[in-house]
Amino acid sequence: MKKKGICLVLVMMLVLGILGGAALAGQRAGSVISTDVRMDLNKFVNLEYEKVISSNLSLYVKPFIGLGLGFTDMGAMAGAKYYLQGTAPEGLWIGGFGLIEYASIFGFSDTAFGAGANAGYKYFITDKFTVEGNAGLAYVSGGVFELIWGINVGMAL
């Protein structure tokens, strides 16, 4: 009788855990839009749109443009984020991305293609507002490595 009682309690705990996890998953945001917080003189504007595909995976696209004295920089990144704890779009993630970038500096211009890997952590300050830190490394055509990093603030949609 004692073993049956223990088994019943364990089964109830398992069922409640599954239902609680499903309820929390239903409350997670399906997508997030964010922008970098930058403190430089160049007028960089970028937005990131992230769409949750599953509890571990999200896809994102990030167009950007930068205008300054004598230069223009524009392009886009697209990639995937794998959330290690299955709590997409919140928590620790690793990912990969591709990018295309057009730059013009004092009349000289070039278009570059690249790919890279990155990692970060996204935290929901409230139910709607997020903050995210990330860093990575990209290999760009022409044999150039670029450090990719940012601190994003965003809002769940």
Structural domain boundaries of the chain?
A: 30-156
Give me the pLDDT at residue 22, please.
41
Chain segment 21-69, per-residue pLDDT in tens: 444 445 678 999 998 876 555 667 889 999 999 999 999 999 999 888 8
Rg over alpha carbons for the chain, rounded to the nearest Å, is 21
CATH number for the domain formed by residue range(s) 30-156: 2.40.160.20
* Best CA proximity match to 115, nearest among 151, 139, 133: 139
Place of tokens 């996204």: 122
What is the Cα–Cα distance from 62 to 78, expressed in whole angstroms? 6
pLDDT bucket at 12, cuts 50 / 70 / 90? very low
**Nearest partner of 156 among 44, 28, 56, judged by Cα:** 28
Q: Tokens standing for 151?
A: 């601190």
Predicted local confidence at residue 23, as pLDDT: 42
Q: Is 7's pLDDT higher than 80?
A: no
Please give the Cα distance from 26 to 44 (Å, whole number).
35
